[in-house]
């Protein structure tokens, strides 16, 4: 059987708690790669409510790669969340009726740019990703973490503010995996690679990947 990224509910049991995320996205400023899934047993199709303060006029995008695993309650806080901070008050008079204030210049707002999540990133439940953060391929974000800074590939972070717990692999292996980019291969190739990608004998895996990237 061909694993189609266009399946809405890809669990073998077809339960509607897990969906391939790209299939439920309605906003043009959220871009999600194939096979990335979101899990939420209460209301999985309502993922976009977790992408907060995401206003078209600020033009910021949430870009998520392929094969990411996003747990229930994960929130992406976008740039519209941040009030002006370089003046006496942070009160956004311009958004409320009756006050004489023009919208601030965008240069006066603390805009941090797009939020970019790599490929094969696992984000634990209720983690919060703050505006403009870039998370590298293969990173793991612990449950309830608050991520305010960029995270390097294949790094595990936990806590608030999220701090590095450890790297997942040695530097040579990380460099190999970033060249290998298994997520960009065809589904047939990935199916063939599954024993390698899920093998815990990492020395053997490293040697095999070396052969394939050289």
> Quick one: 87 or 164, whose CB is closer to ligand COA?
164
Exactly one of 7, 80, 81, 83 is catalytic; name it: 83
Site for ligand COA, rule CB under 6 A: 69, 71, 124-125, 140, 142-145, 156, 158-159, 165
Q: What is the nearest approach in angstroms of ligand COA to the Cβ of residue 81?
A: 22
Q: Rounded distance, CA 136 to CA 166, Å?
A: 14
How many residues are present in the chain? 214
Min CB(59)–ligand COA separation in Å: 31
Query: To the nearest whole angstrom, how small is the minimum distance from the Cβ of residue 36 to ligand COA?
Result: 13
| Cβ-proximal residues to 131 (8 Å cutoff; 6+ apart), any chain | 60, 77, 78, 79, 81, 82, 111, 112, 113, 115
Nearer to ligand COA, 158 or 197 (CB): 158
> Cα(151)–Cα(170) distance, rounded to whole angstroms?
16
> Is 83 an active-site residue?
yes
Q: Is the CB of residue 65 less than 8 Å from the CB of residue 118?
A: yes
Q: Which is nearer to ligand COA, 157 or 209 (CB)?
A: 157
Question: Crossing angle of helices 202-213/171-180, nearest 10°?
Answer: 50
Q: Which residues are catalytic?
A: 83
């Amino acid at each position: 059987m061909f694993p189609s990224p266009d399946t809405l509910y890809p669990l073998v049991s077809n339960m509607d708690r897990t969906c391939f995320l790209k299939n439920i996205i309605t906003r043009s400023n959220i871009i999600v790669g194939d096979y990335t899934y979101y899990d939420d047993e209460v209301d999985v199709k309502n993922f976009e409510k977790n992408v907060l303060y995401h206003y078209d006029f600020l033009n910021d995008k949430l870009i998520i790669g392929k094969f990411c695993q996003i747990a229930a309650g994960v929130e992406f806080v976008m740039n519209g969340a941040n009030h002006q901070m370089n003046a006496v008050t942070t009160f956004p008079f311009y958004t409320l009726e009756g006050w004489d204030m023009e919208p601030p210049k965008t240069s006066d707002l603390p805009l941090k740019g797009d939020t970019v999540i790599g490929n094969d990133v696992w984000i634990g439940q209720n983690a919060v990703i703050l505006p403009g953060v870039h998370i590298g391929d293969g990173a793991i974000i612990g449950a309830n973490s608050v991520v305010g800074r960029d995270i390097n590939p294949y790094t595990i972070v936990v806590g608030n503010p999220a701090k590095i717990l450890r790297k997942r692999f040695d530097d040579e292996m990380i460099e190999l995996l970033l060249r290998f980019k298994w997520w960009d291969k065809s589904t047939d190739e990935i199916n063939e690679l599954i024993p390698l990608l899920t093998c815990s004998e990492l020395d053997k895996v490293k040697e095999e990947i070396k052969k394939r990237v050289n």
